[in-house]
Amino acid sequence: MSRRLLVSVFGSEHDIVAATKTARTRGYDIVDVYTPFAVHGLDIAQGIKPTRIAAVCLALGLTGAIAKLGFQIWTSAWDWPVNVGGKPLISLPAFVPVTFEVTVLFAGVGTVLAFLLRSKLLPGKKPKRLYEGVTNDKFVLVLAQTDAAFDVHTVREMFKPFHLLKMEEQVEAD
């Protein structure tokens, strides 16, 4: 199934933020916004919810720490108990450096993998180019034409105060 898109090009970051806010408040379906650099306030203008990647990182780090502590306690106390100089079999201070390293390893690698899977940035994925120069010097707002009542002329008039440079309709094939 294909969907019709309306690609609007703006000249500055202030214009793209204001146009995005206006489109969202008027109920248009925002597909995405492309900018050459991070624009402050654009996520709020789009209505994007805060990320949960920090919670994923914490969960993965705690999983790594618990797994490593459990493994060290199991190996030193039950599987292969060796009494070295009267040291207790479960010596937690000796386990701290390795547990910390495994915590960082699980959190770091797991967070990167979770990000790649969630954002669908898998190896071999072909990039979609909606507009030439979109990551060089253009600010692009993409709206989905959801129904027959979508009027391109109305959207063009709505975006004129925001220094609209160009607007074109495209069909996105799945």
- Going through 36-152 in order, the beta strands assigned E by DSSP cover 139-144
Instruction: Quote the pLDDT of residue 174.
Output: 60
Q: Which of 54, 46, 157, 174 is nearest to 111 (CA)?
A: 54
In the structure encoding, which two tokens stand for residue 92, read together? 């937690």
- CA 10/CA 164 separation, integer angstroms: 5
- CA 68/CA 61 separation, integer angstroms: 11
Instruction: Quote the pLDDT of residue 122.
Output: 82
123-141 per-position pLDDT tens digit: 888 777 767 777 788 899 9
pLDDT in 10s for each residue of the chain, 174 residues:
578 889 999 989 999 999 999 999 998 999 989 999 999 999 999 999 988 999 999 999 999 999 999 999 999 888 888 888 888 888 888 899 999 999 999 999 999 999 999 988 888 887 777 677 777 888 999 999 888 778 888 999 999 999 999 998 888 766
DSSP label at residue 127: P
Q: Which domains does the chain have, with CATH numbers?
A: 3-49+130-172 (3.30.70.1710), 53-118 (no CATH)
| Continuous segment of H or E residues that includes residue 18 | helix 13-25
